[in-house]
Structure 1
């Protein structure tokens, strides 16, 4: 694909992502994407066979972004500490930093947006969403279990559930922040999660 073709494809994906995050997949039409991206219908169908193929490309692009962000955050945490509990706390702290500078509410997570309209999506798209969420779980569970060996918790939690709690906290915070128009909610809820971990594994 030429440089111009790559730029056009990226414009389509960027416009589609913004529209889907604002109004949902079902409510986003190809015509709206064309207008937002400033392209012709022919240009759209040159890059994507259908709206369904665009949905697949969107979620794969988002999954790659999430994976890259996760790798970067984990690498920073591992560089700062070899202690598994501290690594998890640092990961949450770094996520707080990511959201502290927001001017307005965060648009949310594409995986979650897609999940609300699961019946409209094919199995390949659903699998990308599932794989992305399970990877976060896997990474956190391994560190939480290692932390428990070093610092036996006051209560014995289900570590998969405790890892999933980070996703639950974030997604809930996105909804509340968007409803109230206050992005500080996201940082506050992440701090609550971090405090809970500190209390659970208190020495």
Structure 2
């Protein structure tokens, strides 16, 4: 059977990520990664020149996967509705639905692990982490901006921090899940965020401005909301 280097590389990365989430980056030694992956030291250094190079590869892999997943969720939401508020609520609801299926506490967040030990990483690695957070904030922020054009909020809001709230919520829920040894905080926090956005922007509540022009703009949208 031919040797497939991609299988070994993935085994190394999966072993390293598991160890980092369990013990932290500094405690996840190369020898520990080699032991968990079941490979030789030569195989490790064939794929990665150093632990730092492995760290960069790990965060790049997660960044690409998370960006693709967010795009998929947004695409699904946009296919279900043309209304920006419904798209946003569906998007958050899909994350809630996904995390509600967890049967064990979420293992943690690689980005958070790297941030806690940021002094151990070079700028290239930490720049990937910063870009991940910026990308998420920009995509959710763009949705919020579209919502704001049609739905005046019932309380003053700042779009960037409202978008960043979802990041703070998710990272906090990761911690709660591990501390409480319970998978439920993730879905619960997504649900609260979705409810907050609905209360903040919902057209079903009386508009504080009574703006009939805004109502007319909403009526022009052809909305297909999925059945509850």
Q: TM-score, normalised by structure 1?
A: 0.97
After superposition, the CA RMSD in angstroms is 1.0
1:91-143 per-residue CA deviation (whole Å, 9 max, x = no partner) reads 11000111111121001221111111110000000010000110010011111
Task: Quote how far apart the aligned CAs of 1:3 are.
Answer: 5.6
Q: Secondary structure at the match of 2:182?
A: coil
What is the rounded CA distance, in whole Å, between the counterparts of 2:6 and 2:139 in structure 1? 33
Does residue 67 (structure 1) correspond to residue 67 (structure 2)? The answer is yes
1:53-92 equivalences in 2 (<5 Å): 53-92=53-92
How far apart are the structure 2 equivalents of 1:199 and 1:55? 41
Residues 79-118 of structure 1 mapped to structure 2, 5 A cutoff: 79-118=79-118
Whether 2:184 is the aligned partner of 1:184: answer yes
The structure with the largest helix share of the pair is 1
After superposition, give the CA deviation of every residue in 1:24-68 in whole Å (9 maximum; x if it has no partner). 111100011001000000000000000000001111111111111
Partners of 1:37 and 1:29 lie apart in 2 by: 12
Aligned to 2:8: 8
Tell which deviates more after alignment, 2-11 or 55-64: 2-11
Look up the match of 2:137. Answer: 137
Q: After TM superposition, which residue ranges in structure 1, 4 or more long, deviate above 3 angstroms?
A: none
What SS does structure 2 have at the residue aligned with 1:182?
Answer: coil
Distance between the aligned counterparts of 1:143 and 1:68, measured in 2? 17
Which consecutive unaligned segments of at least 5 residues does structure 2 have? Answer: 204-228
Tell me the distance in 2 between the aligned counterparts of 1:3 and 1:55: 24
Aligned to 1:119: 119
Mapped to 1, the partners of 2:180 and 2:24 lie a distance apart of 19
DSSP-derived class of the 1:113 partner: helix
How high is the TM-score relative to the length of structure 2?
0.86
Structure 1: runs of 5 or more not aligned: none
Deviations 1:74-94 (A, max 9, x none): 110110111111111111100
- The residue that corresponds to 2:198 in the other structure is 198
Alignment partner, residue 166 of structure 1? 166
Secondary structure at the counterpart of residue 4 of structure 2? helix
* 1:28 correspondence with 2:31: no
Which protein is bigger by CA-based radius of gyration?
2
Query: Alpha-carbon deviation of 1:145?
Result: 1.1
